[in-house]
Amino acid sequence: MKGPAPIQGTAPIKGAVPLVELVDIHKSVGASAGVVKILKGISLSVCAGESIAVTGPSGSGKSTLLHVMGLLTPATHGNLKVGGELVDHDRRKAINLRRRFGFIFQDAKLINGLSALQNVQAPLMHIGVWPHRQKKLATDALEAVGMGHRLGHHPGQLSGGESMRVAIARALVAKPSILLADEPTGSLDSANGRIIADLLLGMVGRTTALVMVTHQPELARRANRIAHIIDGVLVDQ
């Protein structure tokens, strides 16, 4: 099996075991209406302590790469390893591996009808954490992102920046290994965008990594690696 090709200008942290390893990943969609190839042989590895910015024009396959990496959709072809474990057709294994990722979407994607606290509790509920612990962990996570004073507020009562901070708390609450952020500052003004970027990059530590899709060069420059995709192919930057 071929190893992942390192991206020019960036290098994995020396000696680190990749948290995620993509090897020659292809992704196609559609059948009767014609097959569209979105990813064409992407190879990439993400190690602990890294922050990677995925950039590229619209429709180049950045979000799809994030979804494939986060096991939300299977690759059409290629090998994907999470924490050294090869992702195969075992659904149970895939679900357990998916819980190592924390997702942050562009428009926060909070669940309407639930409060900020309940939204942050949601990942813990699906894991099966006891309610009293859920509440404490969720409250701690919200306080960590400066939202401790808005626990009972619903998505409609929060601003874009606040919603994004709740979404970050939700992504972090189950202590994931890798944060996957899809244009986290895309819908925010520059001031809020900076706050969110600081928060996200501040979360990257010795045991976690961040992969974020962004169109904003200044945010991309703050990451320690940049992966540029054009038409489904990872190109050097």
Contact footprint for other proteins (CB under 8 A) = 13, 15-17, 19, 47-49, 67, 70, 72-73, 83-85, 95-96, 98-100, 103, 105, 107, 109-114, 118, 122-131, 134, 170-171, 174-177, 206-208
CA distance 189 to 5: 36
Query: 81 vs 194, which CB is nearer to other proteins?
Result: 81
CB of 171 to other proteins, least distance (A): 8
Question: What are 234's strand-pairing partners?
Answer: 229
Q: What angle do CA 131, 135, 137 make, to 5 degrees?
A: 115
CB of 226 to other proteins, least distance (A): 22
CB of 46 to other proteins, least distance (A): 12
Query: 206 vs 221, which CB is nearer to other proteins?
Result: 206
DSSP state letters, 84-118: TEEP-S-HHHHHHHHTTEEEE-TT--PPTTS-HHH
Q: What is the largest CA-CA distance in the chain?
A: 51
- DSSP label at residue 215: S
Query: 96 vs 237, which CB is nearer to other proteins?
Result: 96
- Cβ proximity of 147 and 165 under 8 Å: yes
CA distance 167 to 139: 13
Query: 208 vs 216, which CB is nearer to other proteins?
Result: 208
- Cβ proximity of 51 and 221 under 8 Å: no
CB of 159 to other proteins, least distance (A): 19
CB of 45 to other proteins, least distance (A): 12
Query: 35 vs 235, which CB is nearer to other proteins?
Result: 35
